[in-house]
A and B are shown apart, each in its own frame.
Chain A
């Protein structure tokens, strides 16, 4: 085998060589990618297509399609299913509305807290310890996070830390996850607590990548700490912030475990989100309707991920 024909990572094989190289190596490539490709086709691509097909039908308990109903599952979702989307309430309610609430609050809070902690921790000697404390929840299961926070939110002030805290100021204890008006915020904050570490680690790594000399020069010129952050660090962080935002948004569209364990979508469906609704409908034997909900979920993820993948084609960032 001549060494000039060795394919490289970036350079594509030049046109005329391609067939010769393929004869020598193509079948070997198939051995290497074959198993992965087979699993991806059988277990992701084919089921995805099947799910799209299912979404146009009604299924029986054995998950076989018994009737084709066109787009009815979709119209049902957006017009007739009050637990998915209820525009008659003001403000609107339902799983989709809750997901939007999650997307806005969870994403911005995780990002802001992550940035704040990264910036503050960089100014003290115990930075590594602080970052570990905030990062640890990233490693633990959302199921465990749900149990941890359910205990924090316990209505009885001698059990729940939060109610113990507020009652010490004379306030009445609040059933944080048992009330329709507080349950979503209680859940969102618990998940922010679990995810802030991710935002913090990525943004902290990016902050460290900013040249010390630039910051020193600005400081010598009399720039304030806030000015340095606002005019130098923040603009250079825009790309990692975009990465984190995409990750958080995709994560929150898929959010399931935490809500399922902590409230199961309750009380009275007030904390339902798309992923929980999908599993509930699936459990009710509504295979076609559950499939349609999954399709909507993917349609929400695609534009966000497309942004991310396009970026990865052009450049590699962070880390």
Chain B
């Protein structure tokens, strides 16, 4: 930024400008290498996912850029024969409740931690934040037993609950830190008008906290959508597996079938990429604030 401003400084002579450009050549070169390293892997797989199976084995993906024979057949095949269509639906079925539930419960709890006074409030809050040290692995075995005893091991119920619980500490932490920054006068005024806590929460706090709710919501959504470990352990019914688990199975069964693997991986990436490009601002905010998870 500083250098960018320096280039438009009026007293700069043309020779100084040329000198500036030359001196920045290493910067441009460095960034070019970075861009290549960060783009080539994804682009290579993306191109491959649109190439006919025979072509993938016959020639490299970069040579196809000049040949130009692409197809959607791999996507059709991975959706139909590898059951990726039902896996896509399962991913949605797992992710939506696993995002909305912690969002609602964390917001309610964060409201109490911000604007209702009760004994040991700050201690309880700190203990909840401290739960972030517990890795999912710590709960796998006992949770599996609980879900089995409750009879929800063969259904989405178990994974909804597990994702909700493990999303709550971060959610409560993020939302409480946002709620306490709301203007105190506003909440007091509502109280004076006789509004109940529920009403203040729903009508005052939530509408003012959309950015924070969006940040945590996106963060949790991507976390759950991209999760392999918990789905792998908690979903025992083969018909309910999400895309992450199915793709992992695919690459064991279809080893070098890159036309299927590449298309499957891109189907898995579509939703996060859409979320990323549509809501980049909230996403970055969530990551900045959520750097403790």
Which of B11-19, B65-73, B271-279 touches A?
B271-279
User: In the complex, are the beta carbons of B244 and A143 less than 8 A apart?
Assistant: yes
User: In the complex, are the beta carbons of A205 and B288 less than 8 A apart?
Assistant: yes
Which of A83-91, A99-107, A252-260 touches B?
A252-260
Q: Total number of A-B contacts with CB less than 8 angstroms?
A: 329
The answer to whether B289 has its CB under 8 Å from any CB of chain A is yes
A182 neighbours in B (Cβ, 8 Å): none
User: In the complex, are the beta carbons of B45 and A147 less than 8 A apart?
Assistant: yes
B117 neighbours in A (Cβ, 8 Å): 7, 12-13, 18, 21-22, 25, 29
User: In the complex, are the beta carbons of A309 and B129 less than 8 A apart?
Assistant: yes
Residues 121-162 of chain A, each 1 if its beta carbon lies under 8 Å from chain B, else 0? 111111100101111111111111001111110000111010
The answer to whether B89 has its CB under 8 Å from any CB of chain A is no
Residue from the list A116, A201, A312 in contact with B288, Cβ < 8 A: A201
Q: Which of B1-57 contact A (CB under 8 A)?
A: 1-4, 24, 27-28, 30-31, 34-35, 37-42, 44-45, 48, 56
The answer to whether A69 has its CB under 8 Å from any CB of chain B is no
Residue from the list B38, B115, B233, B261 in contact with A193, Cβ < 8 A: B38
User: In the complex, are the beta carbons of A39 and B40 less than 8 A apart?
Assistant: no
User: In the complex, are the beta carbons of A47 and B265 less than 8 A apart?
Assistant: no
B130 neighbours in A (Cβ, 8 Å): 309
User: In the complex, are the beta carbons of B228 and A161 less than 8 A apart?
Assistant: no
The answer to whether A301 has its CB under 8 Å from any CB of chain B is yes
User: In the complex, are the beta carbons of B273 and A279 less than 8 A apart?
Assistant: no
User: In the complex, are the beta carbons of A193 and B168 less than 8 A apart?
Assistant: no
Residues 202-219 of chain A, each 1 if its beta carbon lies under 8 Å from chain B, else 0? 100100100010011001
Residues 197-236 of chain B, each 1 if its beta carbon lies under 8 Å from chain A, else 0? 1000100000000000000000000100111110011000
Query: Known contacts being A9-B114, A40-B169, A256-B228, is A291 close to B275, with CB within 8 Å?
Result: no
Nearest B residue to A313 via CB reads: B126
Residues 111-124 of chain A, each 1 if its beta carbon lies under 8 Å from chain B, else 0? 00000110011111
A216 to B40, CA, bound (A): 37
The answer to whether B88 has its CB under 8 Å from any CB of chain A is no
User: In the complex, are the beta carbons of B291 and A247 less than 8 A apart?
Assistant: yes
A108 to B265, CA, bound (A): 28
7 nearest CB pairs, A to B: A7-B117, A9-B180, A141-B226, A32-B112, A43-B165, A47-B142, A47-B139
Could you show 27 A-B contacts with beta carbons less than 8 Å apart? A18-B117, A22-B119, A25-B116, A29-B121, A30-B118, A32-B197, A33-B108, A37-B128, A44-B134, A50-B142, A120-B31, A122-B3, A123-B3, A123-B4, A123-B24, A136-B276, A151-B45, A151-B48, A201-B287, A244-B291, A246-B292, A260-B228, A261-B247, A282-B233, A293-B137, A305-B133, A319-B288
Q: A6-B184, A21-B118, A51-B142 are in contact. List 19 more A-B contacts (CB 8 A).
A: A6-B191, A9-B184, A25-B117, A29-B112, A37-B109, A47-B139, A48-B139, A51-B138, A63-B144, A137-B42, A139-B275, A141-B227, A141-B228, A143-B228, A148-B41, A260-B228, A279-B233, A297-B135, A297-B137
